[in-house]
Structure 1
């Protein structure tokens, strides 16, 4: 039997998989540590009181969430450029190193705690993410060529690294930021991003020539399109050329979207307006946002009908899923914006006596047990690779010594006090914790004969998300109109995060899965961009609306604010169910 070119990766295995997978596991883990760790404290820091033991900047929630929304939106768009550069110019591995280095500089800049360095830091994080994010999975895909039966398990392990990083990052950066100082929280994110980059850099020998700089340095997107044209023409398929109207709509969309993305935070943070006018009562930011949305919808309406019927129908189905995706993330991403403000201002987080002791024990278990599991994986990697990548292993081991030291110090401090104030950021770790707990059950469900169709999965995802916000709305029903503080039970937050996570597991994996099934190969890049654009818009919309939490709460009440995110997702979920016959017809047999 002929040996596959990637067989040598499987000769030195860790837990049944190539050792290189676990280098990627830890690299991704530290990147997610830094991303979620920084994000967990950003809004609390920006909106925190300007006086006190650990002062913030006392921004309005509108200003803070405007900045967060623009950051989150661009984080989902820059990988489209970074992925192309890695494919055609610099290679996957160099892209990962460049991205990690830029993100390290970004976190270090934010630790300076000045407005100028904050903006510089966020710019570095956005660009660095564009280089880093798309290329980790590309390396895995290349490593497993010819071993497709192992790919699902590899991606499951990799995404456990994603959730482990989010879990540890939120827990440690959140606790350090809140209890010791915001600069230390931001700085900690940067330290682990740097260590993650170094352990990856010194482990590159494990990957052979995977991710090297492309040999043909003159690869051009025009060449790609020309080759694509020849391939499609040779099969006798109809090529959907870009017409003048398409280019015109793309131009209007890009210009109006960029004006909105830049103008929104400028106007809310610095009272600086790119174009100072109103149209039909709308400020310029909202006008350009709506103009961008309308032109993009027109672009899809103009282009998609020109495809052959089966392709046209499937792309219409995928576009409908993208619309649901926008509204899902617009509600789900309140976890990064309005929910930390709600947790700080409206939740009773002070525990005493038996309740405090119970929390400390629960916190100890959920902190130490996952960390022990990850440490076991680390030791397994050491046993197999120390002779080959010793320096990488030493750096990785040093990073875990720091983690364990902070964890033990945190637990020591917490167990010394008789009264416990649960950190604001502690609740954000529940998402990763619930994913780790329930992911195996969902995997079994999707692999069984009871695997529901796409429309039902989108219904479940949206409905469960809405129910989560319903708990928050019910818990806040007695908060007086305009109240700036309250002492609501923490249980409402726990239920909300539980149902949000269950909804995420129903809907989140569906997008890329149906992209690969519904979209013809030559159109994957374009529709991949559409899908990521949908997530980006959802993130921006989340914080655009969430930034009005203070205004909506003062005018209509806190419960009304959460009812918005209750009824809209549930309503859209029901629309997905009603569209089931149409979607089934449009998908032409794809399940």
Structure 2
């Protein structure tokens, strides 16, 4: 929900305004809205679908479902590194977005097929397609504004709201569809969710296809690369990439993927430090500070991404979701809490930072990250309390602890996520900002894959129980709280390594 690069193309056209911003912003807003609708529909339903479809609802399937979800999440972020390069150097942003949308839609409709191999191939297509789509739609927002345009930050804020609006709507709409759209049991309706997600990507494609003329050339292929031959090269590359991703999901698995991501992360770190060493001690120390924050960032997302796995299993089996009139709160709707909290709380958090800045007391970057980890940990503490003290005779905890956990995690996200990309552009060697941005997304990928491994451990061989959830969430609280406190304590050291970067 926070991948907004701020690249600016030279020679920005003089766009007509709509509601005080360049008119194409609203086209990109809706294109991204439907892409996020698709992605977040998959996110809430995927692990639950795997258990229902391939294990007939047996909780023993939770561990494999969690690992597939974690690997899928990791690869969605990791492939964005290559998608950005293809748009920059090969076919341009517009063509990348259109190709990505088509492949994602095909993949989502393929996931609907009641076959494990079809599901994994479909997810592989979604991963490859979103790698072309997500980083490039975000980058195009920056290309609508001149570098000195004071509306620029507000434009990214509006686009960020589009991201969260899509994330908010997806679980509400598809969660309702999965529960009530037909008379069949819920476990047979998850395929409707993937169909709705595929339809969302079709709408995203159409919105961009008909709206791209208003871009007036922004995002077109690089000079000399206008021919269609390069598009065919990219299509061929995508066709080769899908079976490779399938092999990673089906054969290598989450543990093997963790080794691959770890080696890739080390490689990125070595390249950044090598370039920094050519620029002197100050740049080396800035890169070291950035890499330290990357390490804490992956910890945050390792636990935040439990929303698609262990939190879902908790909501499905151990949360009292009965509301007024006997109505049952759909499991998927819990995942609308976070984007709603972002929409509601983000202005307040921004105001707090501004007030503290006026008094010269605004927390530094590492302190904000430390606060983010602490708030994430507090969310788990609420669940620990509920599982230890509030379980009723039916083995259920109240509705409010899980909802409160989502809100506390969102407060943590607001402390950490919005400043991440800005931090990278300030601390990275000027010649390798793009590579450093890839390192940022790679830290999210590592965290996403670790989240699946953790959720699989919590579920174990027989599925999540109150005892295993209590143990897993207790571990999560202490690790997050300890990491947050540690980061707050070493913040003065990291600030010195940053050499004045705020």
User: Which TM-score band applies after superposition, normalised by the shorter structure?
Assistant: 0.7 to 0.9
1:212-251 → structure 2 map (5 Å cutoff): 212-217=220-225
C-alpha separation in 2, matches of 1:106 and 1:467: 37
Larger Rg: 1
Matching residue of 1:249: none
1:26 and 1:300, CA in 2 relative to 1: closer, same or farther beyond 3 A? closer
Q: Does 1:576 align with 2:487?
A: yes
C-alpha separation in 1, matches of 2:256 and 2:66: 19
1:95 and 1:291, CA in 2 relative to 1: closer, same or farther beyond 3 A? closer
C-alpha separation in 1, matches of 2:27 and 2:190: 30
Matching residue of 1:314: 286
1:305-350, CA deviations, whole angstroms, 9 ceiling, x for partnerless residues?
7441011000000000000011000010001111000111110111
Matching residue of 2:295: 323
Cα distance, 1:56 vs. partner?
5.6
Cα distance, 1:267 vs. partner?
7.1
Matching residue of 2:120: 119
Is the contact made by 1:96 and 1:136 (CA closer than 8 Å) also made in structure 2? yes
1:174-211, CA deviations, whole angstroms, 9 ceiling, x for partnerless residues?
22123332221110111121012112101111100111
Residue from 329, 336, 340 that aligns with 2:312: 340
1:93 and 1:46, CA in 2 relative to 1: closer, same or farther beyond 3 A? same
Is the contact made by 2:265 and 2:442 (CA closer than 8 Å) also made in structure 1? no
Is the contact made by 1:70 and 1:265 (CA closer than 8 Å) also made in structure 2? no
Matching residue of 1:191: 199
C-alpha separation in 2, matches of 1:33 and 1:260: 23
1:289 and 1:427, CA in 2 relative to 1: closer, same or farther beyond 3 A? closer
1:261 and 1:574, CA in 2 relative to 1: closer, same or farther beyond 3 A? farther
C-alpha separation in 2, matches of 1:289 and 1:453: 31
C-alpha separation in 2, matches of 1:295 and 1:5: 35
Runs of 5+ consecutive residues of structure 1 not aligned to the other structure: 219-257, 269-284, 357-417
Matching residue of 2:14: 8
Count matched residues: 462
- Larger RCO: Structure 1 or Structure 2 (Cα < 8 Å, ≥ 6 residues apart)? 2
Matching residue of 1:426: 333
Residue from 24, 45, 48 that aligns with 2:52: 48
1:166 and 1:335, CA in 2 relative to 1: closer, same or farther beyond 3 A? same
Cα distance, 1:48 vs. partner?
2.7
Is the contact made by 1:345 and 1:485 (CA closer than 8 Å) also made in structure 2? no
C-alpha separation in 2, matches of 1:298 and 1:214: 28
1:232-311 → structure 2 map (5 Å cutoff): 265-266=250-251, 286=255, 289=258, 293=262, 296-297=265-266, 300=269, 304=273, 306-307=277-278, 308-311=280-283
Cα distance, 1:549 vs. partner?
1.8
Matching residue of 1:209: 217
1:469-508 → structure 2 map (5 Å cutoff): 469-478=380-389, 486-508=395-417
C-alpha separation in 1, matches of 2:44 and 2:295: 27
1:384-423 → structure 2 map (5 Å cutoff): 418-423=325-330
Matching residue of 2:233: none
SS of corresponding position for 2:362: coil
Give 4+ residue runs of structure 1 displaced > 6 Å after superposition: 258-261
Runs of 5+ consecutive residues of structure 2 not aligned to the other structure: 1-9, 182-188, 227-242
Deviates more, 1:296-305 or 1:564-573: 296-305
Is the contact made by 1:515 and 1:527 (CA closer than 8 Å) also made in structure 2? yes
Cα distance, 1:263 vs. partner?
5.9
